[in-house]
Chains A and B, each alone.
Chain A
Amino acid sequence: MYKKLSIALLTLLVPISVFAAQDDKKSTEQPPVPTENSQNVMKYTSSSFTKPEKESAAPIKQKNSFQGFEKAAENDNLALYVNEETLAIKIENKKTKYVWNSGLDNPDQYRLNKTWEQMAQSAITVDYMDRRGKVKTESITTNDSRPRVKMNDKGFTASLYMNQSKLEFEVNVELQENDLVVSIPENEIRENKYTKLISMRVYPFLGAVNKSDINGYMFIPDGSGALIRYEKNGTKADAPFTGSIYGDDEAFLKTKVKKEEEEKVTPVEQIKMPVFGTVHGVKQNGFLAVIEEGYTHGDILAYPSGVSTDFNWISSEFHFRKEYYQPTSKNMKGLNVYQKTKNPFGVKLRYMFLQDDDADYVGMAKAYQNHLSDTKQLEKQDDKTGVRLEFLGGEVKEGLLWDSVLPMTKVTDIPSMTSELKKDIDDLFVVYKGWSEGGLTGTLPQKFPFESELGNSDDVKDTIDSLKKDNIPLYFYSDYTKAYDGASGYSGSKDVAKKISAETISHSEDKKTLYYLSPEKSLAIAKDDAKEFKKQGISNVAIDTSGYTLFSDFSGKKSSERNQTIKTYQKLFGTLNKEVGNVALYEPNTYLWNQADRYLDIPMNASNYVFETDTVPFLQIVLKGYMPYYAPFSNFQSDSEDQMLRMIEYGAYPSYLLTKEASHLLAKTASSDVYTSEYSIWKDKILYQYENIKKSLGEVEGEEIVSRNVPQTGVVEVEYSNGKVIVVNYTNATYKSNGIEVKPKYFAVTEGGESDETTRQ
């Protein structure tokens, strides 16, 4: 009865729904691309892009008085003057006659309280702990600590005894061609029995600018690089920029007990280069400071005008004793204390003075590039316009009774996909992750054997060979820092890095706990792995985490201070380089740059600080021509056109995270953040983006960036060392200039003024 009724009902319904469907079909002939109106213009004036420079570039007028200063040294480029009471210095750039001042000539003119004034005028300001455990600040001028200055032919050496804190230092200042080098040697730092040195600032006000008195900016190495322009009541910030060089040291961080909602707030970009800079008058004068020693315990500070004082100033701060949280109970109650012993390091700062055309962030980047190249920290690598394909092999899936491995891309699936792309893409390189037994998450540090769901070692060999025929290097993804709770290959009590508070360094990652391996153990594992890699015929590896994680390990005998960790990691990657072959690193810090052949996941943005006014490709300018770098995955971008233009502008090659299977299978695994990755969906997009990248960046392979110019909002011109200029137009209007025409949301490559126009397909 019921069935009959429902059938009857259905026969009644069917015609209606058919009509409705037909009705809909008629009006579906529009393309699904949303119409773009003029609404997104504000984006290009935001701090995630670079602003055009001001037209008026009148030279900055200075009234210099050298009263109280004595000439200490002079060379062809610079002259150094010193005030023997405060150790304040003035440096004259002889080419532009511009004088850099470490202090203020007429401090009474400005709104500055006593403490700030003392800090501004002194070469050195320290924070220290007195015998009662109170933290106090002292500058050279606070208690008239008279330094003894000894001149030499390059500069001077000053012995300093701080009257109140009773700390002793030696300060060496000397000129080296275009550079000024300030150093405080480690073994000359002496503490009093009762007072303890906490932190130190060296020439904090060198290059400080009151409000927006002059045109220019400060440069901070935030993400790809960011500028803070000197602007009138520009900032709404209530705190300065403080960034630990190479990221915060995990050994001093408080272990998080509760997972707060802050997890949704992504962390700020980590500082990957120990540099900062300032420009006084764009294309007039500037300097880049490189921290050559002490970077392991250093911060970069930038105070925009309006934060604490009216001055814009940028400097570094060195922490000889760090404060940390010592929990004394299981529910994390405890107290804040300072380190008992002083961190063993000295300070060395190199100020590179720039003038005229070099006096901007591009000049700074070039200066840094030269410096790295001269000191062999950066070497030329093969640079071909290519695409990074990262294949996710297997991932752990929780089952009702036991966990299983969800095969997303079998190793034998890879050649069919790459050969299809290879027809149109000249240079591909493949990273294969999640190949260890047990899948991507939870198996480290144990790497071998291969996961049987994905293929056996013969399959792996076959795949490597077949890719080799196509000239596609296959990199195997791994990690030498993480160790998962419950995984094999390490001992939870002996091989895990510890914090200074004696807790283990641990994180929770999708229900699993992971530890950091102590660096020595990482090295030992790498040595063993190298043999295994070789045995399996693997000659390329891509290493995550270890390249950008720098931590101290306080685990008793095996303790490794940050400097030591750097050395161990350098040894580790040296081993891999020698025994295995090519090593690609994810976001490596500077000290590993000469050990990587590809830079993966290069930051393409800054952190969006309120006080930042521009984002610039500083890191990219340093690396371009030396090491090929790849942008983060294009899968997860929300404005793919804009992001592609940005890759072209920044000289970065695209990356994709791919799987053979549909990505929604990953929804309930640790890789649930991979919400789109299916190869069949992404294939066309990869080809489209590559085509455009090839057309632009293919013209400048292996070349360096020599200048970058923003003629108007949303339009950028980047000039390369072979004379080619890439013009990128983000706006919705055609850009015309000097016979070049760039279509909206597109780019053009021109040859030194003449246009060699590329048009949209």
Chain B
Amino acid sequence: MKRIAQFVAFLVFLLVPIYSTASASVPYQTETLSAGGQTIETQTAYTPVGTLLPDVEIMNPEDIFSDTKGNLYIADSGTKKILVADKNGKFVREIGKGVLKSPTGVYVDENENIYVADYEVEKVFRFSQDGKVEEVYGKPDSPLFGKSSSFKPQKVAVDRRGSIYVISEGSTNGIIQLSKDGGFLGYYGVNSTEGSFGTFLQKLLTSESKKANMFMKTPPAPDNIALDDQGLVYSVTEGTTNEVIKKLNVAGKNMLFPDISDEKSLQDIAVDHDGNIFVVSSTGEIYEYDSFGNLLFIFGGKDDGTNRLGLFKQPTGITIDPEGRLYVTDKERGMIQVFESTAFSKQVHEGIALFKEGRYVESQKYWEEVLKMNSSFGLAHSAMGSAYYKQQDYDKALEEYEFANDVFGYSDSFWEVRHAWMQENLETVLFALIFFGILYYIVKAIDKKKGILNQPRRQIGAIKKQKLIGELLFLFKFFRHPIDSFYYLKRKQYASILSATILYVILIVEYIYSRFYTGFIFKTVSSDANLVGELLLLLVPLALFIVVNYLVSTINDGEGRFKDIYIGTIYSLAPFLLFSPILTLLSNVLTYNEAFVYVFSIRIIYAWCLIILFIMLKEIHNYTFSDTIRNIFVTLFGMVIMLLVVFIVFVLIDQVYDFVYSIIKEAVLRV
């Protein structure tokens, strides 16, 4: 949920232009996630330092790989060979000339065997260091692989045991896993189909027989692959927003958040020895995640026609060498750009490396430095929270977690803080309770004998007898006798428009209160929500319901007048009106351990409201049970239609305005 909110915030942020105060030597802004989950600008994490092999002809670099010694291997489909450079960027040799036709992927195993995926030849080659072809892997002939399945290798990777992972074009079954001698071991890491609301509806509405005939949605094929030091397989997938980056365990299950990124065009992935993940998208942006999938940095960008270093036209491959230099191939520009990390990102990386191993307190110093450099750095606040928590400085931990929007950390720290408070104050509270309890009974006993409370009681009775107060207090009758109450409401006018309107105002106030003052742990409203938006969220459905229900009911023999529905609706919401503020208060002292109390109560309130609402419709319109249900569905349908009409009218008016504007403008300019 938090992730979704983050990405919504991220999208919103994209629409807002950014003016930078920082003038840097790099042609892009570097961004990170703020404590609130938005992307914010930060210091440059990686600077472009030049190009690799500037003097060697490179036409269409497709993939690049750095072995453990820092030697670099480039698959160039333009010159149809593999170029090898040493760790200083000096050209060493070329491999596969005359053999390869369209090399698109390259990988080097621990024994320095070079594996090349050739898309056109439809084979995977294994070369020795001196460029001899040692083995050729073609389409597996195992029946399990399937005769009709095509074998179009694009990328390749090899694990320590010698299993070869092949990314083949359109391989919707996942990554093809081959044994050392080319035998088919199976598919690995298959993607899942996206369960969108649309497909859910489609499934719901079509019959079983039709479903069988329907075009079966196939999962997207993975597009690139990488292995880390531990031999875990990472993959990226294009054209989807679900599980675009995967870190697969031995069983082929993804260990990262499924909604880690909604970037639809990720091209390649690389993992450094600390497990940090680098992915590059075709928009030229490079994303760095830590080993848990927390976003660290976004940098790079699309070439704006100015030919600057640090921007890309068509990035295809990314790799990181043992010294932490990033290499990114640009297929269209025919060059490989080199990035070096800055002092700032090194600080972050050192912190992450310790944090990853759970050495929170040790990592604290790095995070402190990072926070000096960027006081909004989200991950740093979260890490600081963990460090404080470990040192039992719960108040500080609470503060950091709240800042970092880390609900779970906050909940744990709050539990500790609350516990400490209870330890201290439980006695006092208990005594106070007992004292008031005794006081109550004493007063009651005395009252029984001497009637000291008669005077106040009479006064309260007098107030209750006032018409408006009586109408408002009528609300409480709905808890015990909803059916009777609606009868009184309709026939005996126990409530008026004025009292209902007052209750509506109370509803609005309570709703806003509950939205903005719910405890941190249970808060669903984003921190930059505005009042008007929240109000509309409440008032639009409510108003629509009242109006549409009236319209629908009048043609369906409903007896209710508009006034009745108006009054009835708000009185049906009695449970919300009464309990919502209490729950909001309660939510401020609950932690995740007691979450069910809150969640369950909320559900009960909503269910209760709905039941009363149902009774209201039935009684007010004098419907039968089935009539009521039909009425509700028609009302809901009517509400949708109403919204649609408003929308269409709005669009039409806008079009007319644009049309007139264009005509005037054109007339002015051309005549």
Question: Which of A's residues lie within 8 Å of B, judged by CB?
Answer: 2-3, 6-7, 10, 17-18, 20-21, 24-25, 27-28, 30-32, 34, 37, 39-40, 42-43, 45-48, 232-234, 236-239, 259, 261-266, 268, 326-331, 333, 398, 400-401, 502, 507-511, 601, 603-611, 632-633, 635-642, 657, 662-664, 667-668, 672-676, 678, 681
Question: Given that A264-B29, A607-B306, A638-B345 are known contacts, is A259 also in contact with B14, CB under 8 Å in the complex?
Answer: yes
| Interface pair B419/A6, CB less than 8 Å apart | yes
**What residues on A are CB-neighbors of B361 within 8 Å?**
21, 24-25, 28
On whether the beta carbons of A400 and B308 are closer than 8 Å, the reply is: no
Residue pair B376, A675 in contact (C-beta under 8 Å):
yes
Tell me which residues across on chain B come within 8 A of A603, comparing CB atoms: 23
Report Cα–Cα, A605/B23, bound state, in Å: 9
Contact of B531 with A401 in the complex, beta carbons under 8 Å: yes
Contact of B28 among A28, A265, A642 (CB under 8 A): A265
Q: In the assembled complex, which residues on chain A have CB atoms less than 8 Å from the CB atom of B50?
A: 42, 45-47
Take A28-B362, A510-B19 as given contacts and tell me if A329 and B301 are in contact as well, using a CB distance cutoff of 8 Å.
no
Contact between chains at B344 and A639 (CB < 8 Å) = yes
**Known A-B contacts A39-B340, A608-B27, A667-B40; A330 and B662 likewise in contact (beta carbons under 8 Å):** yes
Chain A residues whose CB sits within 8 angstroms of the CB of B423 once the complex forms: 7
A21-B390, A261-B301, A610-B309 provided; 4 other pairs, C-beta below 8 A? A39-B324, A46-B48, A265-B29, A642-B343
Nearest-neighbour CB distance to chain B for A731, whole angstroms, equals 14
Compute how far the CA of A640 lies from the CA of B283 in the bound complex, rounded to whole angstroms. 30
A670 to B311, CA, bound (A): 27
Asked whether, in the complex, the Cβ of B54 is within 8 Å of the Cβ of A262, the reply is: no
Tell me the minimal C-beta distance from A307 to chain B in angstroms: 9
Question: By the criterion CB–CB under 8 Å, are A673 and B18 in contact?
Answer: yes
Q: Which residue of B lies closest to A268 (CB)?
A: B306
- Nearest chain B CB to A291's CB is how many angstroms away? 22
Task: Flag if B302 contacts A24 (CB, 8 Å).
Answer: no
Q: B666 contacts which chain A residues (CB < 8 A)? A: 328-329
Whether the Cβ atoms of B662 and A329 lie closer than 8 Å is yes
The answer to the question of B669 belonging to the interface, with a C-beta cut-off of 8 Å to chain A, is: yes
Stretch at the interface among B365-373, B450-458, B553-561: B365-373
Per the bound structure, the CA–CA distance linking A636 and B528 in Å amounts to: 25
Q: Which residues does chain B contribute within 8 Å of A239, judged by CB atoms?
A: 305-307
Q: Is the CB of A329 within 8 A of B661?
A: yes
Question: Cβ of B365: which chain A residues have Cβ within 8 Å of it?
Answer: 28, 30-32
Residues on A with C-beta less than 8 A from B15 are 259
Q: Are B307 and A34 closer than 8 Å at their CB atoms? A: no
Report the Cα distance A729→B422, complex, angstroms. Answer: 61
By the criterion of a CB under 8 Å from any partner CB, how many residues of chain B are at the interface?
A: 101
Q: Residue of B at shortest CB range from A631? A: B23
**Chain B residue nearest in CB terms to A39:** B323
Chain B's interface: helix, strand, loop or mixed, by majority? mixed
Most buried by A among B17, B23, B49: B23
The answer on a CB contact under 8 Å between B35 and A6 is no
Cβ of B662 to closest chain A Cβ, rounded Å: 4
CB pair A611 B307 closer than 8 Å: yes
**Contact assessment for A608 and B310 in the assembled complex, using a CB-CB cutoff below 8 Å:** yes
Q: Which residues of B contact A635 (CB under 8 A)?
A: 22
Q: Is B587 an interface residue (CB 8 A)?
A: no
List the A side residues contacting B374 at CB < 8 Å: 675-676
Which of A27, A32, A232 is the one whose CB lies under 8 Å from B368?
A: A32
List which B219-249 residues lie within 8 A (CB) of chain A: none
Whether B307 lies near A609 (C-beta < 8 A) is: yes
Distance in angstroms between the alpha carbons of A502 and B667 in the assembled complex: 14
Chain B neighbourhood of A657, CB < 8 A? 21
Q: How far is the CA of A46 from the CA of B50 in the complex (A)?
A: 6
Beta-carbon nearest neighbor of A259 in chain B? B17
Q: Do the beta carbons of B350 and A17 come within 8 Å of each other?
A: no
Query: Which residues, 46 to 62 on B, are CB-close (under 8 Å) to A?
Result: 47-51, 54-55
In the complex, which residue of chain A has the Cβ closest to the Cβ of B662? A329
Q: Which residue of B lies closest to A326 (CB)?
A: B669
- B276-318, CB < 8 A from A: 283, 285, 301-302, 304-311
B282 CB to closest chain A CB (Å) equals: 12
In the assembled complex, the Cα of A642 lies from the Cα of B41 at a distance in Å of 21
**Complex Cα–Cα for A31 and B23 (A):** 30
Which residues from 105 to 162 on chain B have a C-beta closer than 8 Å to any C-beta of chain A? none
* Interface hit among B330-338, B433-441, B632-640: B330-338
Q: Which of B21, B41, B324 has the most CB of A within 10 A?
A: B21
Q: Which of A37, A43, A266, A511 has the most CB of B within 10 A?
A: A266
Q: Is B347 an interface residue (CB 8 A)?
A: yes
Interface of A is mostly: loop
User: How many angstroms from the CA of A329 to the CA of B41 in the assembled complex?
Assistant: 35
CA distance A544 to B569 in the complex (A): 58
Name the residue among A509, A511, A664, A674 with the largest chain B CB count within 10 angstroms.
Answer: A664
Cα separation A511 to B530 with both chains bound (whole Å): 14
Residues in chain A near residue B478, CB distance under 8 A: none
A333: chain B residues at CB < 8 Å are 662
Closest-by-CB residue of A relative to B534 is: A400
Partner of A236, one of B17, B31, B335: B335
4 smallest beta-carbon distances between A and B, as pairs: A24-B361, A636-B22, A32-B365, A605-B25
Q: Is B24 located at the chain interface by the 8 A CB criterion?
A: yes
Partner of B665, one of A6, A329, A609, A673: A329
- Closest residue of chain B to A18 (Cβ to Cβ) is B392
Q: Is the CB of A608 within 8 A of B309?
A: yes
CA distance A140 to B342 in the complex (A): 53
Q: Any chain A CB within 8 A of the CB of B101?
A: no
Question: Could you tell me if B16 and A259 are in contact, using CB atoms closer than 8 angstroms?
Answer: yes
What A residues does B362 contact at CB under 8 A? 24, 27-28
Given contacts A24-B362, A234-B54, contact A633 B531 (CB under 8 A): no
Residue of A nearest to B426 (CB): A3
B493 contacts A by Cβ under 8 Å = no
Name the residue of chain B whose CB is nearest to the CB of A333: B662
Mark contacts of B38-77 with chain A using CB atoms, 8 A cut-off: 1 yes-contact digit, 0 otherwise. Answer: 0011111101111100110000000000000000000000
Find chain B residues with CB under 8 A from A502 CB: 669
Q: Does B190 contact A (CB under 8 A)?
A: no
Instruction: Tell me how far the C-beta of A211 lies from the nearest C-beta in chain B, rounded to whole angstroms.
Output: 14
Chain B residue contacts of A3, Cβ below 8 A = 422, 426
Partner of B41, one of A633, A675, A681: A675
Q: Are the C-beta atoms of B25 and A265 separated by less than 8 Å?
A: no
Q: In the bound complex, do residue A674 and residue B21 qualify as a contact, i.e. CB atoms below 8 Å apart?
A: yes
Q: Judge whether B305 and A329 touch: CB under 8 Å.
A: no
Report A-chain residues with C-beta under 8 Å of the C-beta of B392. Answer: 17-18, 21
Measured CA separation A559–B105 after assembly (Å): 59
Residue of A nearest to B284 (CB): A265
Tell me if B593 is interfacial: C-beta within 8 Å of chain A: yes
What are the residues of chain B within 8 A of A10 when measuring CB–CB? 416, 419
Q: Are B41 and A673 in contact (CB under 8 A)?
A: yes
| 5 intermolecular pairs with C-beta atoms under 8 Å apart | A32-B368, A638-B342, A638-B345, A641-B343, A667-B34
Whole-angstrom CA separation of A233 from B365 in the bound complex: 48
A34 with B350, Cβ < 8 A, contacts A42-B340, A608-B26 known: yes
Residues of B within 8 A of A678 (CB): 375
Q: Considering the complex, give the chain B residue whose CB is closest to the CB of A501.
A: B669
Q: Tell me whether B43 and A330 are in contact (CB under 8 A).
A: no
Contact A607 B308 (CB under 8 A): yes
Known: A265-B28, A510-B17, A638-B45. A43 touches B340 (CB 8 A): yes
Bound-complex Cα distance A506 to B15 (A)? 17
Q: Is the CB of B657 closer than 8 A to any CB of chain A?
A: yes
Chain A CB within 8 A of B466 CB: no
How many Å from the CB of B264 to the closest CB on chain A? 13
B174 at the interface (CB under 8 A from A): no
| Contact between A400 and B530, CB atoms less than 8 A apart | yes
Nearest chain B residue, comparing its CB with the CB of A337: B669
Complex Cα distance, B24 from A642, in Å, reads 13
A contact residues around B301 at 8 Å (CB)? 261-262, 264-265
Question: Among the interface residues B54, B338, B426, which one has the most CB atoms of the partner chain A within 10 A?
Answer: B54
Q: Are B307 and A238 interface neighbours, CB within 8 A?
A: yes
CB of B428 closer than 8 Å to a CB of A: no
Known: A32-B366, A603-B23. A610 touches B308 (CB 8 A): yes
